[in-house]
Each structure stands twice: as structure tokens, then as C-alpha cells.
Amino acid sequence: MLICTVIMDLKTFEIVFDNYVLQGDTYEQGCGTLVLHGAGKSSRTRFSRMRESLNDQGITSASFDFIGHGKTGGEILGTSLHGRTKQAAAVIRHTCIEPLTLIAASMSAYTAIKLTKIFSVNNLILLVPAVYTPSAYNIDFGPKFSAAIRIPNNWQDSDAFNILESFKGNLLVIAAQHDNVIPIKVIEKIYESARHAKTNLLHIVPESAHLSLFPKLQDFHMALNMIIKICRGGRDNKG
């Protein structure tokens, strides 16, 4: 049963980054949770319902639109995976406090994993997570990037797995049963790599897809309860 504790209003912020202005919002300056949206046509609004629900339970969060997305706008082809890591780091330094909870979807799961090397992260919550070969990290998004990540099975040499081996916090992976973007082997290796995590849980949402992770309201609430539990101290055992 969820118990409401506090409700705060969103406050917008702007951060100058290179030649852009990152647009974001936060329920509380100095919050400990950052939500990172995925690629494609995604933006921070994709997670408004989740953030509102977390806020109702006293878990405040910040989020922002990466370059090329949402209100930040700009040209996505001029940035990269490395650029997304630097953008997220800038927002953390401006808006968040450590230790962090990172909630990240799809492409940004890789960003969140990379951020665990820079910041103190207690909780890592990955939704339909993607990982990438290091050789694609500094390639600008576009045809060359697409070609680099479409080499069969090149995700297997991702540095994400070695980083996760060193992760000592709580890991929650929420995957889609019918994901036509992320192979199940990627999900399994992410989960298995975090062998030294304090807690490690993999939840596969039934009858879901990459772009429809919570097809039923009950799926959303089940995942939300898992996230709240992780944010409030994790689990006592693995699996």
C-alpha cells in the first residue's frame, strides 16, 4: 500500500551547455533522483506520470531534455553518447545531490551506467536498457553511429558490463517481454554482470514492448512499487 507523504510543484531550470541551453525541471533543488529519457522522439515528458507518482510518495526528482529533444531542441546529429553523459553530468552538478538514484530508459541506461563511474550512485533503475560498444561512444549520431551499432553482437564488448561488475548499489532492471529493439541476451547480461550489487532484481513486464512498457495500469503500479522500494532502501536479498 502506498502512503502519501509530500507533494511539491515542479520548477523549471536552464543550464548553458556548449552552444545550447538544456531545459529541465525539478520538484526540489538538491534532489537525489534524476530521470533520463531515451532516444528517438522521447523527452522528459515521457516520464511525467512516473515522476508525479514518485513525488506523491515523497521521492522528488529532476529531469531534462537532451540536446535534440523536447524543449531543449537543437540538432541531435551534432552530439553523441559521450555528449549525453556530459549533459547529464552537468544537470547533476547543477540540480542534484549525492548519493543518487538514476532512473534511465533505453539509450540513457548506458548513460546512467557510465555516470556511476563519476558520481556516487545508490540506486540504478534501468528501463528497457540498451548498452553500446565503446567504439561508438564518441561518434556523432547519424549514419556512422548507426552503422557502428548495427554490427552484429558488437554490444557484447560494451564497457557497461565491466562497470556494472563494480557497482555496489541497488540495481533494478525492468524489461519488456516482447522487445523488438533490445535482445533478451542484453538484458540478461546486464543483470548477470551486477554480481556485486547490494541488491539485483530483474522484472519482465508481460505482454509489453519497447515503446509500450506498461500496457496495463497494473503493470505500471507494480513497477512503481518496485522503484519506490528501491528508493527507500532496496531489498534484503538478491534475485
Q: Rounded CA gap, 91 and 68, in Å?
A: 16
pLDDT, one tens digit per residue, over 115-154 is: 999 999 999 999 999 999 999 999 999 999 999 999 999 9
Q: Is the pTM of this model over 0.85?
A: yes
Which strand ranges, in their side-by-side order, compose the sheet holding 199-205?
A: 11-17, 20-26, 62-65, 31-36, 96-105, 121-127, 170-176, 199-205
2 or 134: which leads in pLDDT:
134
pLDDT at 7: 57
**Which single residue is written with the C-alpha cell 552530439?**
79
pLDDT at 188 over 90: yes
**Which single residue is written with the C-alpha cell 534475485?**
239
Cα–Cα separations (whole angstroms), residue 190 to 182, 200, 209: 12, 10, 18
Contact 148, 139 (CB under 8 A): yes
Q: How many alpha carbons fall within 13 Å on the CB side of residue 189?
A: 18
Question: In the CATH hierarchy, which top-level class contains the domain 24-231?
Answer: alpha beta
% of the chain beyond a pLDDT of 70: 95
pLDDT at 9 over 90: no
Domain residue ranges of the chain, discontinuous segments joined by +: 24-231
pLDDT at 233 over 80: no
pLDDT at 143: 95
pLDDT, one tens digit per residue, over 45-77 is: 999 999 999 999 999 999 999 999 999 999 899
pLDDT at 2 over 70: no
